[in-house]
Structure 1
Amino acid sequence: MATMFGSGLSNQTGAAIGSLAFPVLGPLGVVAVRQYVAALVLVAVDRPRLRAFTRRQWWPVLLLAGVFGTMNLSLYSAIDRIGLGLAVTLEFLGPLSIALAASRRRLDAGCAALAAAGVVVLMRPQPSADYLGMGLGLVAACCWASYIVLNRIVGRRVPGAQGTAAAACASAVAFLPAGILLAVRHPPTAGAVLCAVAAGVLSSAVPYLADLLTLRTVPARTFGLFMSVNPVLAAVVGRVVLGQGLGLPEWAGIGAVVAANAVSIATTRT
Structure 2
Amino acid sequence: MLTKIPRRTLATCAVLISILSVQAGATFGKHLFPIVGAEGTTALRQGFAALILLAIFRPWQNGPARKDWGVLLLYAVIMGVMNLVFYMGIARVPLGIGVAIEFLGPLTVAVLTSRRAVDFIWIACAAAGLVILLPWHGGSGALDPVGVFWCACAAVCWGLYIIVGQRVSDRVHGGKAVALAMAITTVFTLPIGIATAGATLFSGSVLLWGIAVGILSSAIPYTLEMLALKHLPAKTFSLMMSLEPAAGAILAFLIVGEKLTLMQVVAIALVVTASAGSSLTARRATNEAAT
Of the three residues 191, 194, 197, the one matched with 2:208 is 194
Matched, 1:131 2:145: yes
Relative distance call for 1:17 and 1:4 in structure 2 (3 A) is same
Of the three residues 105, 108, 113, the one matched with 1:102 is 113
Aligned length: 270
Return the alpha-carbon distance in structure 2 between the equivalents of residues 136 and 4 of structure 1. Answer: 26
Contact 1:48 1:166 in 2 (8 A): yes
Matched, 1:258 2:272: yes
- The aligned counterpart of 2:223 is 209
Moved over 6 A (4+): none
Cα deviation 1:220-241 (Å, max 9, x = unaligned): 2111101000000001111111
Relative distance call for 1:264 and 1:182 in structure 2 (3 A) is closer
Using structure 1 for the length normalisation, give the TM-score: 0.93
Helix, strand or coil: the match of 1:56?
Answer: helix
- The aligned counterpart of 1:242 is 256
Matched, 1:19 2:30: yes
- The aligned counterpart of 1:122 is 133
Contact 1:71 1:144 in 2 (8 A): yes
Of the three residues 49, 55, 78, the one matched with 2:89 is 78
Return the alpha-carbon distance in structure 1 between the equivalents of residues 107 and 248 of structure 2. Answer: 17
Return the alpha-carbon distance in structure 1 between the equivalents of residues 32 and 173 of structure 2. Answer: 37
Give the RMSD, CA atoms, in angstroms: 1.9
Of the three residues 68, 76, 91, the one matched with 1:65 is 76
Contact 2:19 2:244 in 1 (8 A): yes
Q: Greater CA deviation, 178-187 or 224-233?
A: 178-187
- The aligned counterpart of 1:33 is 44
Relative distance call for 1:114 and 1:182 in structure 2 (3 A) is closer
Amino acid at match of 1:16: T
Return the alpha-carbon distance in structure 2 between the equivalents of residues 209 and 81 of structure 1. Answer: 29
CA drift at 1:46: 2.3
CA drift at 1:49: 3.5
- The aligned counterpart of 2:175 is 161
Contact 1:7 1:210 in 2 (8 A): yes
Return the alpha-carbon distance in structure 2 between the equivalents of residues 189 and 159 of structure 1. Answer: 35
Return the alpha-carbon distance in structure 2 between the equivalents of residues 223 and 156 of structure 1. Answer: 18
Percent identity of paired positions between Structure 1 and Structure 2? 39
Relative distance call for 1:103 and 1:226 in structure 2 (3 A) is same
Helix, strand or coil: the match of 1:81?
Answer: coil
Amino acid at match of 1:261: S
Return the alpha-carbon distance in structure 2 between the equivalents of residues 78 and 9 of structure 1. Answer: 20
Return the alpha-carbon distance in structure 1 between the equivalents of residues 49 and 213 of structure 2. Answer: 10
Helix, strand or coil: the match of 1:245?
Answer: coil
Amino acid at match of 1:101: L
Return the alpha-carbon distance in structure 1 between the equivalents of residues 164 and 136 of structure 2. Answer: 34
CA drift at 1:124: 4.3
Return the alpha-carbon distance in structure 2 between the equivalents of residues 126 and 211 of structure 1. Answer: 39
Relative distance call for 1:100 and 1:77 in structure 2 (3 A) is same
Cα deviation 1:141-172 (Å, max 9, x = unaligned): 01111111111111223345333322221111
Contact 1:61 1:164 in 2 (8 A): no
Amino acid at match of 1:120: V
Q: Greater CA deviation, 160-169 or 16-25?
A: 160-169
Structure 2: stretches of 5+ with no match in the other structure: 1-11, 287-291
CA drift at 1:253: 0.6
Amino acid at match of 2:250: V
Cα deviation 1:13-58 (Å, max 9, x = unaligned): 1110111011111111110011112212322232224997555312
Return the alpha-carbon distance in structure 1 between the equivalents of residues 42 and 33 of structure 2. Answer: 10
CA drift at 1:121: 0.6
Return the alpha-carbon distance in structure 1 between the equivalents of residues 239 and 65 of structure 2. Answer: 36
Using structure 2 for the length normalisation, give the TM-score: 0.87
Contact 2:44 2:190 in 1 (8 A): no
Return the alpha-carbon distance in structure 2 between the equivalents of residues 145 and 3 of structure 1. Answer: 23
